[in-house]
Amino acid sequence: MGEPRGGAPLTLRARKPGYAVMQECLAIQAGAPARSRWQRFWGHDPLHDDARSWFKGAIGERDVARALDALGPDFTVLHAVPVGKRSTDIDHVVVGPTGVFSINTKNHSGQDVWVGGRTLLVNGQRTPHMHRALAEGERATSLLSAAAGGPIVVQPVIVVAAARIRFGEKPPAAVTLTPEQVGPWIAGLPRAHSDEAVRFLGMLAEERGTWHVDAVVLNDTLRHVQRFERLEREITEARQRRRLLRKGKRVAVLAVPAGALLGYWWAAAVAALGA
């Protein structure tokens, strides 16, 4: 959609958090077979196994977006910013008086994360997260500087949702925070740009052409978001049904001994009366 009704050109403010990840998730999910009636009854998970990491990533980006949106009107917060020539994107870009930030979001909820230098481990396994976050910062710096006509530093940040985050002796090459920390950290930094510069950089950052070779793309629609939200509801309903069935099974297990005991006493009473 190049222009909305009314003719005003769209900017990247129209992009929803996790948009690109949602697209990947839905593309994979389209190949999942429809659940049978019995599978629906038993709460069979509708999510395709290959789409699971994409789904989790979209949820993580959306959670971080809520934290960033709380920064207030002094900050421009953009989500799923497309960069380069293909479908690559930056999860979030923030422009404000304390600086410009490219934010890479990772949802490792329930897992242990270790960070030190250029290394980020998840449950002891090495990941490319740190290198990619640093590369995003460098690329964003280059693109925004070219658009601004002068050097503009974009600071890379990694935001990780995890059961536990531990840090090594060597400081992380990119600032590493939890979703709860990122907003206060950005807001608490010293001022880096004047109000005029913030308005100018925010305007540049909103333009798709600043980041991507295609200034306008035709498939940026809310339809994908609505489909993803429908999938999310189906997953939640299936989880609730499984939980309800498990609870019913426990009640049934407890009821069997109680019923057997009641039957014993009833048989004993009948026998006693007969005697």
The two structure tokens encoding residue 220: 């940026």
Q: Is the pLDDT of residue 274 over 80?
A: no
Q: Is the pLDDT of residue 96 over 80?
A: yes
pLDDT tens by residue, 147-157:
999 999 999 99
Residue 128: C-alpha distances to residues 12, 121, 162, 264 (Å): 27, 9, 17, 65
Q: Is the pLDDT of residue 106 over 70?
A: yes
Q: What pTM was computed for the model?
A: 0.76
User: What pLDDT, on a 0 to 100 scale, did the predictor assign at position 93?
Assistant: 96
- In b/e form, how buried is each residue of 150-180, taking b as 16+ CB within 10 angstroms? eebebbbbbbbbbeebeeeeeebbbbbbebe
The percent of the chain in helix, strand and coil, each rounded to the nearest 5, is 50, 20, 30
Mean pLDDT for all residues in the chain: 84
| 117 or 257, higher pLDDT | 117
| 21 or 215, higher pLDDT | 21
Q: Is the pLDDT of residue 124 over 90?
A: yes
Residue 275 banded pLDDT, cuts 50, 70, 90: very low
85 touches 113 (CB < 8 A): no
User: What pLDDT, on a 0 to 100 scale, did the predictor assign at position 219?
Assistant: 55
For the chain, which residues make up each domain, given as ranges?
Answer: 12-242
Cα angle: 169, vertex 171, 177; to 5 degrees? 115
Lowest average pLDDT, out of 43-52, 224-233, 254-263, goes to 254-263
25 touches 52 (CB < 8 A): no
User: What pLDDT, on a 0 to 100 scale, did the predictor assign at position 7?
Assistant: 41
Q: How far apart are CA 249 and CA 233, in angstroms?
A: 24
Q: Inter-axis angle of helices 19-29 and 52-69, to 10 degrees?
A: 160
User: What pLDDT, on a 0 to 100 scale, did the predictor assign at position 272?
Assistant: 44
The half-sphere exposure of 244 on its side-chain side, counting CA atoms within 13 A, is 10
